[in-house]
Each structure stands twice: as structure tokens, then as C-alpha cells.
Structure 1
Amino acid sequence: MTLDTQMTLALLQELLLSLRANDPYCFKGWLAEGVHELGEPAVIELMLDGLNPILTTDEADRLVGWHLGVSL
């Protein structure tokens, strides 16, 4: 397994854990770190193809709320 693949999986795990912990600051921190390390296109792909299919409806709503600046 390549280093990029390991970093991507670790980022996916941390994003999911921070989302389930309802911690927007941690989520945004990991998101920024992912963009810094992997690049924006890779993180966008990860969010759409990796994270989106495993989110519950409540988690997806929370994520949208965070994006809009609201706490759910």
C-alpha cells in the first residue's frame, strides 16, 4: 500500500470520527490538513466517493450545516 493510499485512508477515518463526535473544529482541521498534504482535488474526490456513501442521513445533514455555519 502506497503512502498516499495510507494517508487517504487515515484522513477518511479521522474525518468520519470527528463527524461522529460532532466536532466541527476537528473536522475542519483534518480537512485542511488533507488539502495541504494530498491536494484539493484528492480531498474533493475523497469526500464525494469515499465519505458520502458511508454517512448516515443525520451525519450528512450535520456536515451540510457545518458548511453553512450552523451547528446541528
Structure 2
Amino acid sequence: MAAGNALSSYPKQMTLDTQMTLALLQELLMALRANDADGYKSWLALGIEQLGRDVAAEVESDWMVPLLVEEERDRLMAWQLGVSL
């Protein structure tokens, strides 16, 4: 093999944990954008169960919130406070 074509230069496959984390992010975003509080809470609970509280919290606060528009942030905050908008 040529120096630039070593196996280490190929992209590595995502681990199952990484795939599950990205799937959780996707499902949480879809539930929030569909205004589905129950679906959101169910996915978050599953994320906590499968990935742990720390990972689920990181997905929710560090990865998802920056992607939201103001209305979605307000809706998420209301759900967390137990209020319906």
C-alpha cells in the first residue's frame, strides 16, 4: 500500500454507542418539533436507560439546545417545568 492509503487513513465506523447517541438526538429533535411532549419524555427516558443519565443530559443540553430556535427552546423549557405551551 502507498503511504497515503494505509488502513488507518480510512474513516472508522461509528460505535454502537455513538449511533445510539445520534439516534437519540434525532428522535428528541423530531418529538420537540412535532410538539409531542409524551414522545419526547419517552425517548429521553429510553436514552437515560440505554446510555446513562450523563450522556442523555449531554445530548439534551450540549448538542440539541444549540440547534433550536427560540420557540423550540421555550417549548422545551416549559415541558421541563411541567407546563404546556
**TM-score range with shorter-chain normalisation?**
over 0.9
The two structures, once aligned, show a CA RMSD in angstroms of 0.6
User: What letter is aligned with 2:39?
Assistant: C
Computing the radius of gyration over CA atoms, which structure comes out larger, 1 or 2? 2
Runs of 4+ in structure 1 off by over 4 angstroms are none
Q: Which runs of 5+ in 2 are unaligned?
A: 1-13
Equivalent residues in 2 for 1:9-28 (5 A)? 9-28=22-41
- Out of 31, 50, 63, the residue aligned to residue 37 of structure 1 is 50
Q: Which runs of 5+ in 1 are unaligned?
A: none
* Partner Cα distance (1:28, 1:48) in 2: 15
- 2:62 is aligned to 49
SS of the residue corresponding to residue 32 of structure 2 reads helix
- Deviation of 1:63 after TM superposition, in Å, equals 0.5
How many residues were matched structurally? 72
SS of the residue corresponding to residue 73 of structure 2 reads helix
